[in-house]
Structure 1
């Protein structure tokens, strides 16, 4: 089989080094600016006083969040990367709600006014839903083989190992107060698993 170091996705070309969420932050902000500049005869969407806050929130969730978290269900994110996503998320919400840093409004109040979860919650929810979906797959599917497979031979280099997807999923399970040893019993049923994830997310907000 011929080795291919690059492959194309819907919106970009990826190589062997996975792109961090910072790439998607930059891409989302540029996309938002291009959309705003295309409306030459009207103010930008976030600052347009003729657009209701509810409409701005709907556009933000569909366009910005949808682009920013595209493929996030399979991301292996470090805490620093998640914090950068959270900062971008809160900055956008403050612009939509017209909140300035001089107002000294805490982050939890901003999220409550926007009626949106934090970026941490969105990442946990998407990863855990995908985890349950992979667990329900039939044996032989590539995602399930990658999740449960282990190397029979090989030796890793010295030092701290890189963060892998399994460790991130275990971290999400602990944050959501889901037992890391018995989660598979809930994930068998799609409806029960989604309810379990949603309930756990509400408790950890």
Structure 2
């Protein structure tokens, strides 16, 4: 057990000192675990996406010899799809695709595409024209596809692994807070298949046939 990397996170105001081998463990509000930001903060979804955006731009500038060069556009697009796209969408299977979240994803990719074509925002070139040139994989569409596939996999697990138990957990009973309720992970899925989406997801073929409907509805909605 690496005590320097071991942290404590709780959603309770009650915090008790915990020591192991005389070393007191630190309480944290957020933590990066396996490349994903973990936090009880109500804005953790957006915080996680913003982190992926920043990491993607860092990778972009690390590869500036390619993206800022005179290489053919199709070569740059291949690098974008194979390197930047996975970085941007890492962990997207558990994202909540709110309008703010999807806007950040789209804004990031459009900035990357303008950068590799040396087009400034002030030039006011329509994104549809830029996309016709780059032919890049749409990041939002790609992320929604991964979420859809992941949801199907989780529902079809036959064992009692924690992944499925936590994902499908109903949580504590009671009334949600007043006002517009926060978006939940499964709300996107319910929009297509309704409250019984898990029953539909158990049929692999039917679930696969609905994937395009889900991704396109998500892209068009935002």
TMscore range, shorter length:
0.7 to 0.9
89, 105, 112: which one aligns with 1:85: 105
Cα root mean square deviation, aligned: 3.2
Tell whether the 8 Å contact from 1:121 to 1:201 is kept in structure 2 after alignment: yes
- Flag the 1:71–1:92 CA change in 2: closer, same or farther, 3 A: same
Distance 1:183 1:159, change over 3 A: closer
TM-superposed CA distance for 1:199, in Å, is 6.3
| TM-score of the aligned structures, taking structure 1 as reference length | 0.73
Distance 1:202 1:60 in 2: 22
What is aligned with 2:194?
180
User: Displacement of 1:30 after TM fit?
Assistant: 1.9
Corresponding residue of 2:153: 133
Q: Distance in 2 between matches of 1:200 and 1:148?
A: 19
Contact 1:24-1:67 within 8 A present in 2 as well: yes
Partner of 2:210: 196
Change (3 A) 1:15 1:100: closer
Match of 1:32 in 2: 60
Find the aligned partners of 1:105 and 1:97 in 2 and give their Cα distance: 11
Displacement after TM superposition at 1:10 (Å): 3.5
Select which of 62, 66, 69 maps to 1:48.
69
What is the aligned length? 189
Deviations 1:99-120 (A, max 9, x none): 4446543222322332234333
Higher strand share: 2
Unaligned runs of 5+ in 1: 37-43, 174-178
